[in-house]
Structure 1
Amino acid sequence: MDKREYTDDYPDKTLYLPGPTEVREDVIDAMAQPMFGHRMDRMTDLYTTIVEDTKEFLGTDNDVIILSASGTEFWEATTLNLVDDSMLCLTCGSFSERQANVAERLGKDVDRIAYDWGQAVDPDDVREALETNDYDVVGTVMNETSTGVRNPIEAIGDIVADYPDTYFVVDAISCLGGDFIDIEKHNIDAIFTSTQKAFAMPPGLAVCVVSDAAYERELENDSASWYGGFQRCLDYYDRKGQTHSTPAIPLMLAYRKQMKYMLEEGHDARDRRHREMAEYTREWARNHFDVFPEETAASQTVTCVENTRGIDVAATIEAVSEEYDMVFSNGYGSQLGEKTFRIGHMGEHTLESIRALTDALEAVADL
């Protein structure tokens, strides 16, 4: 690839992607502060604030790790920290399949319960698998970004709770903060996200909530992750109130600002706002196209629209971008491509802003 010089004169676009999403202007401004050392008291004040505010927002007493990384880091870290030998992966799209692939690349013995894209995990299948096999971990995604499927994490976690030697790991990258989940009630040992999704922060930080049982389990594991190790991260926090390695300080300043907004809104209200946006978007999709996932399993943060009209998705995305300065997403992967397109309704979006996009789509596609 030849160099393409960054010119800094690009038009601003409103993002309706499955992430990154829109970020408040004052949250972006919060990053532009004089630099300070990551071992100074100021860093302790900053990091303890964002960790404890996150616990308060999510309503959890479990430990929270915030690392400078994408959410992908915790695919690797949770696998290394908790899986000795075997993992059961529940796959229903590109990202849940990638979680299984990561575990295999790390040398773990992976069994899959695979579903057609657009279908959600059936908890009864999980119980049947656990009755006949021993697994260190059951892993899946809460929100399959590629297909717009929201899996029944609550029911799956309740089943895994009946098998105390098996741990439950949830990728909630594209929904945590926009779709309520009671972490402790449903036996989730590790659940993680990225800040550029429903948290509505700049990309570059990964967040993982870790149960006491998962922490204790990692202590027994010789192959635990170095960078994302539960013990390494949490023990350093307990001693110093900081991260064990140099963090992206400006991003954490943005995190602090945005998390205050999230606390002000509250988890329940934020969940309700996302649900209203999702219901509107699905109704719009059914009126003009169709919704790709099965009706009872539709995401609260990403709607995957089935292109029943056969519109040129790439051309429509380009036209909406050029004429309205709004950006949404095409279908993900070779399986979906032009067969679907995706609208992210997460973070700080509202019904009004989502209607602005659907109005633009109707005008451009002559719906």
Structure 2
Amino acid sequence: MPADRPKLFIPGPTHVDDKILEAMGEYPIGHRTAAFSDLYDTVVSGVQKVLFTSNRIFLCTCSATGLWEAAVRNTVLKRCANFVAGAFSKRWHEVTVSCGIKADPFEVELGQPITAEFIDKTLSTGEYDAVTVVHNETSTGVMSPLHQIAEVMHRYPDVAFLVDMVSSMSAVEVNIDDLRIDVALASVQKGWSIPPGFSLCSVSDLALNRSYKSKNKGYYFDFQVLEKYALRSQTPATPSIPHLYGLHQQLNRIFQEGLDNRFRRHNEMAERVRSWAKEKFSLFPDEQFSSTTLTCVEKSPDLDIKRFQTRLLEKGYLISRGYGTLKERTFRVSHMGDLQMSDIEELLSVMDETVEDFRL
């Protein structure tokens, strides 16, 4: 693949198949037409199947950062507990505070997950009516144990459970209804493998009912407004119709592959990259909580990450350096979305070759 269009092994955007790009090039339709409503209903139904939920799905033309705002502004009436395991969960706390919402950060060491015990201890104070958790923290390569966290959350049925699934949605099996997640949100440029600029979320009855009491929602992200139009199979404002075409095409591809096969493929790719990382370097995160969609590799002292990344790009492959304080210490390899095991093997072979070149 040429360097001017490298294959993407970065946290996002991820590699996009040509069939998705072709679908997004379809001629637009009016967003108040029956044809649009049919497209909307098909996409919503497909997303519900992927998420194993009967909750309403809201489709939004924005980044997932916008849905961070939507989640907290619609559900937090008292105080929010933001659980922080890396740069992006920390930013969700910053967004919460910037919205004028009372919130406290609860942080763990980089490379460690948010645990059910940590959340239980925090909620037992009775001070919070909402929690935010980033399921998969791409800055550190940590996937927090969502099922264990959900078991604790079941003890606090009046606390809104808000989950960022930006880099796990559609790649990792998460049964929204069984886990009783009130808001599960994601943008489409990661696990969904669609170009950036669009997001979606599932919203429970608790979250919608809480929205009726919230006074600080604005308009664009007001769950009541979104619900009003969703009942008509529409969006409040003109959406990115190309993204809906892309989602429709991607859902068809997902169901053709089969959800079980899709989830298995992601597990197998993750195991392969982790095995390579342990053999050649080392894993940065606690291995038992390593991400299924991205591997964060702790480099050896003799590897210049910037030169390594540049050389790979010249060969047609783009990986990511570490994020924030980990920039010079780690590099990250994505293995999600439409990437196949053959792509992973190809990248690992090229990385082996490149590392050896540096060490000669």
**TM bracket, shorter-chain basis:** over 0.9
Residue in 1 aligned with 2:263?
271
User: 2:305·2:331 contact (CA, 8 Å) conserved in 1?
Assistant: yes
Residue in 1 aligned with 2:251?
259
Offset at 1:225? Answer: 4.2
Offset at 1:26? Answer: 1.4
- Residues 86 and 310 from structure 1, CA distance in 2 versus in 1: closer, same or farther, beyond 3 angstroms? farther
Distance 2:218 2:168 in 1: 25
Unaligned 5+ segments in structure 2 are none
Offset at 1:179? Answer: 1.0
1:191-202 alignment, distance < 5 Å: 191-202=184-195
**Quick check: 1:236 aligned with 2:226?**
no
**Quick check: 1:305 aligned with 2:290?**
no
Distance 1:57 1:126 in 2: 27
Q: Provide TM-score, normalisation by structure 1.
A: 0.94
Residue in 1 aligned with 2:142?
149
Distance 1:56 1:295 in 2: 30
User: 1:136·1:165 contact (CA, 8 Å) conserved in 2?
Assistant: yes
Residue in 2 aligned with 1:348?
338
The code of the aligned residue for 1:354 comes to I
The code of the aligned residue for 1:329 comes to S
1:19-168 alignment, distance < 5 Å: 19-168=12-161
Residue of 262, 286, 290 corresponding to 2:282: 290
Residue of 315, 320, 323 corresponding to 1:329: 320
Residue in 2 aligned with 1:169?
162
Distance 2:8 2:271 in 1: 19
User: 1:57·1:266 contact (CA, 8 Å) conserved in 2?
Assistant: no
Offset at 1:10? Answer: 7.3
User: 1:331·1:341 contact (CA, 8 Å) conserved in 2?
Assistant: yes
Residue in 1 aligned with 2:6?
13
User: 1:58·1:267 contact (CA, 8 Å) conserved in 2?
Assistant: no
Offset at 1:292? Answer: 0.4
User: 1:282·1:291 contact (CA, 8 Å) conserved in 2?
Assistant: yes
Query: How many percent of aligned residue pairs carry the same amino acid?
Result: 35
User: 1:310·1:339 contact (CA, 8 Å) conserved in 2?
Assistant: no
Residue in 1 aligned with 2:213?
220
User: 1:55·1:62 contact (CA, 8 Å) conserved in 2?
Assistant: yes
Distance 1:179 1:268 in 2: 10
Offset at 1:270? Answer: 1.2
State the SS of the aligned residue for 1:88. Answer: strand
Deviations 1:96-128 (A, max 9, x none): 100111111112222222111100112112111
Residue in 2 aligned with 1:205?
198
Residue in 2 aligned with 1:5?
none
The code of the aligned residue for 1:340 comes to T
Residue of 321, 334, 339 corresponding to 2:329: 339
Distance 1:245 1:310 in 2: 53
Distance 1:133 1:88 in 2: 11
In the comparison of the two structures, how many residue pairs are matched?
356
Distance 1:317 1:210 in 2: 39
Offset at 1:35? Answer: 2.6
Distance 2:54 2:118 in 1: 30
Residue of 306, 315, 320 corresponding to 1:314: 306
RMSD: 1.4
Offset at 1:309? Answer: 3.8
- Residues 332 and 32 from structure 1, CA distance in 2 versus in 1: closer, same or farther, beyond 3 angstroms? same
**Quick check: 1:357 aligned with 2:332?**
no
Greater shift, 209-218 or 224-233, is seen at: 224-233
Offset at 1:49? Answer: 1.2
User: 2:322·2:331 contact (CA, 8 Å) conserved in 1?
Assistant: yes
Distance 1:178 1:33 in 2: 26
Offset at 1:229? Answer: 1.9
Distance 2:219 2:118 in 1: 34
Deviations 1:239-295 (A, max 9, x none): x21111110111111111111111222322211110100011000000000010001
State the SS of the aligned residue for 1:73. Answer: helix
User: 2:116·2:152 contact (CA, 8 Å) conserved in 1?
Assistant: yes
The code of the aligned residue for 2:146 comes to I
Residue in 2 aligned with 1:4?
none
User: 2:335·2:344 contact (CA, 8 Å) conserved in 1?
Assistant: yes
Distance 2:155 2:344 in 1: 41
Runs (4+) of structure 1 moved beyond 3 Å? none
Unaligned 5+ segments in structure 1 are 1-8
Offset at 1:25? Answer: 0.8
